[in-house]
Chain A
Amino acid sequence: MSNQIEASNPEFSETQRIIRLAMDRRQFIAIGGAGIAAAILASCGGSSDDATSDTQAPTEDTPVVPTAAEITLITNRGLETIDNKVTTYDAQITFLRLVRQSVVALGDSLEVVPVLASAFAASDATTWSCTLRGDVTFSDGSPVTSNDVKVALESYLATEGNSFAGQWPEIPTLNVIDDKQFNLVTTQRVVNLDRLMTNVTVVPASANQAGNVDDAPGSGPYVVDSFDKGAQVLVLVPNPSNAETVPFARITARYVGEDSARVNAIKAGEAHVVDSITPDMAVELATDSNITILRSPGTRLAHLFYNFRKPANHPLSNPKVRQALSMAVDGQSIVSNILLDTVTPLTGVVPSTLFGTAVTGEFTYDPEMAKSMLSDAGVSNLKLTMIWEKGEFFSIAQVMEAIAAMLGEVGVATELKEFEPGGDLGEWRAGRLGDWDVLGNGYGNQTGDALTPLIGIYGGTAEKEAERKTYHGYVYPEITSLLIAASAEIDSAKQTDLMDQAQKLIWETWPSMFAFTQNNILAHRNNVSGIVLRPNNTFDLLKVSVS
């Protein structure tokens, strides 16, 4: 029967007649199949490349193996933004700062080097003066001015969720003198203001605001060619407005979450550099003759920190007890067998790679002495609750389990609690959900100097503790006074002396059961040269070449 004969049949409903006239099954299958084929063909062009468009259009195929004029980097953190007002993932600074620059930056040895500034120095106790370079412009051709820096600083500090903003001892007032000169004024001396400013990247004032801003031009030697937020791929090309000689015609940065995928990508030659690899990935990649592993001492502190919010009569309130517990831990065994020699035990209270760190002592393993000290302190049947967040550092669970076993040998029982990332650890740390004794934690560094973590961890005051704003209740007024004095001291020798005194006193309080610095590990193909891995897990990409 033809469609028309069936459609005229009075037994059919109106809807069915309409449908029958419109289509039969062969047409339906043909159209449906064509639709699927069209969808496949349309999507085969590749991932989208324009984060600002409402829909992502396919791009042309990108080569799997990069050429010598290009470099591909794989990063282990998400690429959701090219701004860094909220988070500053260290390794990503390597390529993000090629687009957006700050007034000053950290050099290969974490020294402060001028970037947008030709001069940046303390002119008196509470004033830092800055002169911007006359030749520096944004990629849209507009000059970088003092007002741009002013708005950048205000936007950075006003961004909600900027956890690092709290580490500024005081918010400076930026006074614009002229387009190229300004000063930063504080009421108290902020000795490391230059280092704090390395985290403030500058874009045109008219395009800047609190919160991450992705579509504003930068002043760096590269510009964003495409930023696919869906696939988390960032492509940079040379900035035509920038006269600096650059080594690459194209820099591609990709986020790859899975460790196995990152290993496979560099082994297959799909990437030149993979940052922040784990020790077990390093072991696997070391067997590949086409790949080189680079290591450098890091700046990230990892420690097992005691809870200082204990009653005065609690065993953990006694520094001798804390010292004894530390002596029950075979740190070297943990470093070698669990952490695969990828960390450096601390010889002070902050990482030795930071400016101003003092050597104050080292962790020693002496279980017999530990037992003796615990006995002398009248401690028996002690039980500790140890908490941590999964993934805080490599093999943290195994480390905690090993320590629990070691403590057991000196008669201390332990309860271990692991929290999922994003779980309730914050509530526990604040003491709102339960009591704990030891916290496995990491503490990053964004300034390259020791003063920042010293004040952040050990500079607690009674006023801050009343609002639960100290680092787990650590309040020693004498230490805090020394640190505050150090942060205000102009004379560098006196400042060093004050910091040394403070660090010695801190060490004697035995704040951590064990502590170490996580080393940075990076893998690159052998045809890549010139990478100098800094302690803050970055490197100068402009000095790198690919043969």
Chain B
Amino acid sequence: MGWYLLRRLSFSLLAVLVVASVVFVLLRLTPGDPAATYVGLDVASDDVIEAVRDKWGLNDSLLVQYRSFVTNLVRGDLGESFVYGESAFRVVFWRLPNTILLAAVALLFTVLLAVPLGILAARNSGKTIDNGIGAAAITFQSMPEFWLSIILIQFFALRLGWFPTSGFSGWRSVILPGFTVSLLQLALVSQIVRRELIRLEKSPMADALRARGVSERRLLWGHLVRNSGIPVLTVLGTRFAMMINGIVIIEAVYNWPGVGNLAIQSLRSRDYPLIQANVLITSILAVMINLAVDLSYYFIDPRVRRQTSR
């Protein structure tokens, strides 16, 4: 277990470093000048822009810049944001809890909506209800995030006044964006629940339990739903990890102060340290979450424990 953990961590961190390096190089190869963006071209002269480029080390060769980046990274220094003038690490961590909160709420809504719908669909497999749930879920998944967000804001925030239209001003403001995200991933999770339940219902385990006199109700809730949890856990875990990287469009439309919104702002302003820090931190978190999900199987699934112990 320990070696497995160490190996997974090592490979994961190596992957993160590769991602960070690719982002580093791509940023510097992309057209555009962060110094000119920062200073503004209207009235600035070349020497003002050059002075800023020198200050930020942008006139150094790519290799020198990369060496400096890696050296600082080893020391835990992700650089200073061009725009904020603060540690890039700190700027990302101002926003990260907000994205984690939004992702957690979205996950909660997803579970509350998708699991019952998946169960209902499985119980009525092939019938109109099953087809209706599938169609509705796919419809929501197919909707553009931007459009769905605006529609929900128009109705629930503007027309009904139940929630704020944007920003983060308390618990009510997280419900609408969280609900929007959950609608977009409803199809995936509910279909996985449905598929697993149908498969398990026809399995030898279910036959054996029926033969022992277990009622259908107890069979469903005491055994089938529990056993269908593992693939659902997998997809929820990966979805959570993806959301940590920033639910960009949702955060933009709802003006949610998360890392997704920060990514848009930092890309617009060519704030290299902030972009790099954002990518690095969220990648590490995503890797850790995926690792945690993998490790959780050991505790949740006895079959995995038996395999490991052989």
Q: Using Cβ atoms and an 8 Å threshold, which residues of chain A touch B268?
A: 421-422
Given contacts A264-B158, A444-B42, contact A422 B269 (CB under 8 A): yes
Please choose the segment from A28-36, A338-346, A504-512 that sits at the chain B interface, where 4 or more of its residues have CB less than 8 A away: A28-36
Q: Are B46 and A257 in contact (CB under 8 A)?
A: no
Residues of chain B in range 162-183 having any CB-CB distance to chain A below 8 Å: 164-172, 174
Assuming the contacts A28-B300, A229-B86, A264-B157, asked whether A162 and B48 have C-beta atoms less than 8 A apart, the reply is: yes
The interface size bin for chain A is 35 or more
**B134 an interface residue at 8 Å Cβ cutoff?**
no
**Does B194 touch A at the CB level, under 8 Å?**
no
Complex contact B170–A46 (CB within 8 A): yes
Q: How far is the CB of B22 from chain A (nearest CB, A)?
A: 20
How many Å lie between the Cα of A134 and that of B181 in the bound state?
A: 58
B95 is an interface residue with CB less than 8 A from chain A: yes
**1/0 per position for B30-61, CB-CB distance to A under 8 A?**
01111111111111111111011001000000
Binds A, one of B9-17, B122-130, B203-211, B254-262: B254-262
- Determine the chain A residues whose CB is within 8 A of the CB of B161 once the complex forms: 268
Question: Are B39 and A161 neighbours in the complex by a CB distance under 8 Å?
Answer: yes
Complex contact A62–B48 (CB within 8 A): no
Chain A residues, Cβ within 8 Å of B93: 55-56
Min CB gap A364→B, angstroms: 28
Contact status B157-A28, CB under 8 Å = no
Say which residue of A165, A233, A260 sits within 8 Å of B150 (CB atoms).
A260
Query: A1-38, CB under 8 A of B: which get 1 and which 0?
Result: 00000000001110110010001110011001000100
**CA–CA, A11 and B261, complex, Å:** 52
The answer to whether the Cβ of A468 comes within 8 Å of any Cβ in the partner chain is yes
What 0/1 readout, one digit per residue, does chain B (248-271) give for beta carbons within 8 Å of chain A? 000011110100010011001110
Q: Is there contact, CB below 8 Å, between B164 and A261?
A: no
**Most chain B Cβ neighbours within 10 Å, of A15, A25, A78, A427:** A25
Most B C-beta atoms less than 10 A away, residue of A43, A87, A429? A43
Judging by beta carbons under 8 Å apart, are A422 and B83 in contact?
Answer: no
Please tell me if the beta carbons of B46 and A430 are within 8 angstroms of each other in the complex.
Answer: yes
Q: Are A164 and B43 in contact (CB under 8 A)?
A: yes
Given known A40-B108, A422-B36, contact A261–B165 (CB-CB < 8 A): yes
Question: B132 at interface (Cβ–Cβ under 8 A)?
Answer: no
Tell me the interface secondary structure of chain A in the complex. loop
Question: Within 8 Å of chain A (Cβ to Cβ): is B2?
Answer: yes
Contact indicator B165/A264 (Cβ below 8 Å)? yes
- The verdict on B21 contacting chain A, using a C-beta distance below 8 Å, is no
A231, A389, A468: the one contacting B46 at CB < 8 Å is A468
Return chain A residues, CB-CB under 8 Å to B98: 43, 47, 230-231
A-B CB contacts (within 8 Å), total count = 199
User: Once the chains bind, are A163 and B48 in contact (CB under 8 Å)?
Assistant: yes
Q: Which residues of A contact B108 (CB under 8 A)?
A: 40
Contact A25–B39 (Cβ < 8 Å): no
Complex Cα distance, B37 from A506, in Å, reads 29
List the A residue with the shortest CB-CB distance to B54. A160
A19 to B31, CA, bound (A): 52
Cross-chain contact A268 with B38 (CB below 8 angstroms)? no
A235 to chain B, nearest CB (A): 12
Is the beta-carbon distance between B299 and A161 smaller than 8 angstroms? no
User: A61 with B41: in contact, given A16-B308, A80-B83 (CB under 8 Å)?
Assistant: no
Residue B90 CB within 8 A of the other chain? yes
Q: Is A424 part of the binding interface, using a Cβ–Cβ cutoff of 8 Å? A: yes
CB under 8 Å from chain B, chain A span 36-75: 36, 39-40, 43-44, 46-48, 51, 54-56, 61-64
Q: Please measure, in the bound complex, the distance between the C-alpha atom of A36 and the C-alpha atom of B108, giving whole angstroms.
A: 10
Asked if A256 lies at the interface with its beta carbon under 8 angstroms from chain B, I say yes
For this complex, 7 residue pairs linking A to B, each with C-beta atoms less than 8 Å apart, are A40-B108, A78-B83, A81-B84, A231-B94, A232-B257, A423-B31, A425-B36
> B residues touching A (Cβ–Cβ < 8 Å)?
1-2, 31-49, 51-52, 55, 83-86, 90-91, 93-95, 97-98, 100-101, 104-105, 108, 150, 153-154, 157-158, 161, 164-172, 174, 252-255, 257, 261, 264-265, 268-270, 296, 298-300, 302, 308-309
